[in-house]
A and B are shown apart, each in its own frame.
Chain A
Amino acid sequence: MSGKSVFRRVLLPLLVVVSIGGPVVALAVDDPSEMLPDPKQEARAEAIGAQLRCLVCQNESIEDSSAGLARDLRKVVREHVSAGESNRQVIDWMVARYGNFIRLSPPVTIATLLLWGMPVLALVTGLVAALLVFRRRPQATPLSAAEQARLDELTRGD
Chain B
Amino acid sequence: MSDDLRSPPSGASGDVTRRRLMMGLPLAGAAICGVAFWKMLAGMQSGSFNPHDINAPVTGRPVPVFTLADQIPGTGFSTADLRALSKPVLINFFASWCIPCIAEMQALLDLQKRLPIWGVAYKDKPDNAAGLLKHAGNPYARIGSDREGRVAIDWGVSGVPESFLIAPGGTIIWHSAAGLDNDEVAAGLDGTLKRIGG
Interface SS majority for chain B: loop
Restricting to A63-82, which residues have a CB under 8 Å from any CB of B? Answer: 68-69, 72-73, 76
Q: Could you tell me the distance between the alpha carbons of A101 and B150 in the complex, rounded to whole angstroms? A: 19
**Which bracket fits the contact residues of B?**
20 to 34
**Interface residue? A156 (CB, 8 A):** no
Kindly supply a per-residue 1/0 record for chain B positions 134-155, scoring 1 wherever the CB is within 8 Å of any chain A CB and 0 otherwise: 0000000000000011100111
Complex contact B54–A99 (CB within 8 A):
yes
- By Cβ-Cβ distance, the 10 closest A-B pairs, closest first, are A55-B158, A97-B156, A99-B57, A101-B54, A98-B56, A99-B56, A72-B149, A99-B55, A98-B156, A55-B54
A140: chain B residues at CB < 8 Å are 5-6
Q: Could you tell me the distance between the alpha carbons of A146 and B1 in the complex, rounded to whole angstroms? A: 7
**Interface residue? B2 (CB, 8 A):** yes
Distance (whole angstroms) from the CB of A48 to the closest CB of chain B: 15
Using CB atoms and an 8 Å cutoff, list the residues of chain B in contact with chain A: 1-2, 5-9, 18, 52-57, 123, 148-150, 153-156, 158-159
Complex contact B7–A138 (CB within 8 A):
yes
**Interface residue? A112 (CB, 8 A):** no
Q: Could you say which of B2, B123, B153, B154 has the most chain A C-beta atoms within 10 Å of its C-beta?
A: B153
Q: List 5 A–B pairs whose Cβ atoms lie within 8 Å, in order of A's numbering.
A: A55-B159, A72-B148, A76-B153, A97-B155, A138-B8
In chain B, what residue has the closest Cβ to A150? B1
Supposing A73-B153, A99-B57 touch, asked if A58 and B52 sit within 8 A by C-beta, the answer is: yes
Complex contact A138–B54 (CB within 8 A):
no
**Interface residue? A38 (CB, 8 A):** no
Restricting to A126-158, which residues have a CB under 8 Å from any CB of B? Answer: 132, 137-138, 140-141, 144, 146-147
In chain B, what residue has the closest Cβ to A55? B158
Complex contact A97–B153 (CB within 8 A):
yes
B149: chain A residues at CB < 8 Å are 68-69, 72
A141: chain B residues at CB < 8 Å are 2, 5
B155: chain A residues at CB < 8 Å are 97
